[in-house]
Amino acid sequence: MDEALLRSLTPNVLGILVRRGADFAAAEDAVQDALVEALRVWPADHPRDPKGWLVTVAWRKFLDATRSDTARRRREDLVDEEPAPGPARSVDDTLQLYFLCAHPSLTPSSAVALTLRAVGGLTTRQIAQAYLVPEATMAQRISRAKRTVNGVRFDQPGDVATVLRVLYLVFNEGYSGDVDLAAEAIRLTRQLAAGIDHPEVAGLLALMLLHHARRGTRTAPDGSLVPLAEQDRSRWDTKLIAEGVEILQAALARDRLGEFQAQAAIAALHADAQTAEETDWVQIVEWYDELVRLTDSPVVRLNRAVAVGEADGPRAGLAALAELDDSLPRHAAVAAYLHERDGDPVTAARLYAEAAQKAPNLAERDYLTRQAARLNARR
């Protein structure tokens, strides 16, 4: 219980230290030291005000770390700002901290990686998978970002686009089932939408709501994956779907299309179909064409190949897939699906097995392994 509480309090405590003058890297170290101290002390003596305790201890850790002859004057100024005893203000600083981490001195990709690691709670491995790069490469990127902002005062918040990218990736990681961050990402995006009139903020919120509406049907009671076509659509959250569609329609009416609006439009088309067979795949392909134009993302092109296979037949999908690098994550899984639909179970079984070996999580690996076994059993 204490570990979950500490995880929820960490962004707020980190934000308080940064606003009080601590540079980001030193603040992060101080908060980590305070968390270690909490895990040691709290089992025997749990504080009545956990957040106030963490703020006080983290601030003192920061002050201890900054003591030196060259920093003495600065240290004495900071001592005057030490938080007073008693309950800390109940303020949610998480979204503000997202903006602070998206600092102008960082490139967008570095700002996203740093925020996901420091605030979003994702591991370096999870972030690397999201960016399709080796874990060592992402570790170096995060380290460079920390060095860049070390000593920088965080009084120049970053731009909305970078924050949206972070929220999107946090939601995706939570949605994957590896860690439960999806609800938190929705909460923060709602806050952002309430404070900023921007069609892409609305598009991202709509996208999250439409995906979250069917989260309860994505896995079976035993934890195994349930593909979209096999999900029980009567269990989808129609209230969330209606809200997401309404938000999306208002955003699209402003005629400032962005990638999150396009993705939400695809999700809305899936949500609108009463059965998998009624899905409007032709229109989905058209929206993927818009996404390719907006992003030129290889992952978007991979998803488009699936949609083409549904709209125009598996051979058309395989032709679209042939234009892509076969080292893309889930490339083998898509190829297996399309080959199976094209009547080639031998090739499909081999590709399902290959995809299972590359799967990013246990649930996906088990699903792909079962698909390979199902086809092999028919031979």
Same domain, 15 and 63: yes
Let me know if residue 254 belongs to a domain.
no
pLDDT at 19 over 70: yes
> Does 107 share its domain with 59?
no
Q: Tell me, yes or no, whether 46 lies in a domain.
A: yes
Same domain, 115 and 154: yes
> pLDDT class for 244, splitting at 50, 70, 90?
very high
Query: What is the reported pLDDT for 241?
Result: 97
Q: Are residues 43 and 98 in the same domain?
A: no
The residue with greater pLDDT, 97 or 227, is 227
Determine what percent of the chain is predicted with pLDDT higher than 70.
85
Same domain assignment for residues 31 and 50: yes
User: Both tokens of residue 283?
Assistant: 């229109």
Domain edge (last residue) among 50, 82, 114 = 82
Degrees (nearest 5) of the Cα angle 248, 184, 367?
85
- Position 180 scores a pLDDT of 57
Does 45 map to a domain? yes
pLDDT of residue 81: 46
pLDDT band at 174, cuts 50/70/90?
low
Q: Are residues 78 and 3 in the same domain?
A: yes
Measured distance CA(106)–CA(120) in Å, rounded: 17
User: CA torsion sign, 86 to 89 to 92 to 98?
Assistant: negative
The DSSP code for 23 is: -
Q: Cα-atom radius of gyration of the chain, to the nearest Å?
A: 24
More confident residue, 105 or 218: 218
3-state secondary structure of 225: strand
| C-beta of residue 257 within 8 angstroms of C-beta of residue 249 | no
Are 349 and 305 found together in one domain? yes
- Residues 58, 37: Cα–Cα separation, whole Å: 9
**How many CB atoms neighbour CB 226 within 10 A?**
14
Residue that finishes a domain, picked among 82, 107, 132 = 82
- Please check whether residue 328 lies inside any domain of the structure: yes
pLDDT higher at 24 or 259:
259
Count the domains in the chain: 3
pLDDT band at 127, cuts 50/70/90? Answer: confident
List the alpha helices (DSSP H) in 255-358: 259-272, 281-295, 298-312, 314-321, 331-341, 345-358
Query: Is residue 263 classed exposed, middle or buried when 0-12, 13-18 and 19+ CB atoms within 10 A define those classes?
Result: buried
Confidence of residue 93 (pLDDT cuts 50, 70, 90): low
Q: Residue 267's pLDDT is what?
A: 97
Question: pLDDT confidence of 324, banded at 50, 70, 90?
Answer: very high
> Which amino acid type is present at position 163?
V
Q: Is residue 365 domain-resident? A: yes
Q: Give me the chain's average pLDDT, please.
A: 83
Predicted pLDDT of residue 183? 82
Question: Is-contact 95 185, C-beta < 8 A?
Answer: no
CATH code of the domain containing 142: 1.10.10.10
For residue 15, what pLDDT is reported? 81
Tell me, yes or no, whether 310 and 377 share the same domain. yes
Give the end of a domain, one of 56, 82, 108: 82
**Do 70 and 126 belong together in one domain?**
no
Residue 184 lies in a domain: no
120 pLDDT band (50/70/90 cuts)?
low
Give 231-265 as a DSSP string: S-GGGS-HHHHHHHHHHHHHHHTTT---HHHHHHH
Q: Which residue has the higher pLDDT, 279 or 84?
A: 279
| Shared-domain flag, residues 38 and 78 | yes
Examine the pLDDT at 84 and tell me if it is beyond 80. no
Please check whether residues 72 and 120 belong to one and the same domain.
Answer: no
pLDDT in tens, 136-170: 888 888 887 777 766 655 555 567 888 888 888 77
Confidence of residue 71 (pLDDT cuts 50, 70, 90): very low
Ranking 67-81, 89-103, 163-177, 255-269 by mean pLDDT, the lowest is: 67-81
Query: Could you tell me which of 256, 263, 135 has the C-alpha nearest to residue 211?
Result: 263
- Same domain? For 53 and 36 the reply is yes
Is 322 inside a domain boundary? yes
Q: Range with the lowest mean pLDDT among 54-63, 184-193, 357-366?
A: 54-63
Range of the domain at 104: 90-167
pLDDT of residue 88: 41
336 occurs within a structural domain = yes
Alpha carbon separation from 360 to 132, 216, 298, 333, 365 (Å, rounded): 11, 21, 18, 12, 7
329: its two tokens: 């994550």
Three-state SS annotation for 151-207: CCCCCCCCCHHHHHHHHHHHHHHHHCCCCCCHHHHHHHHHHHHHHCCCHHHHHHHHH
| The amino acid at 19 | R
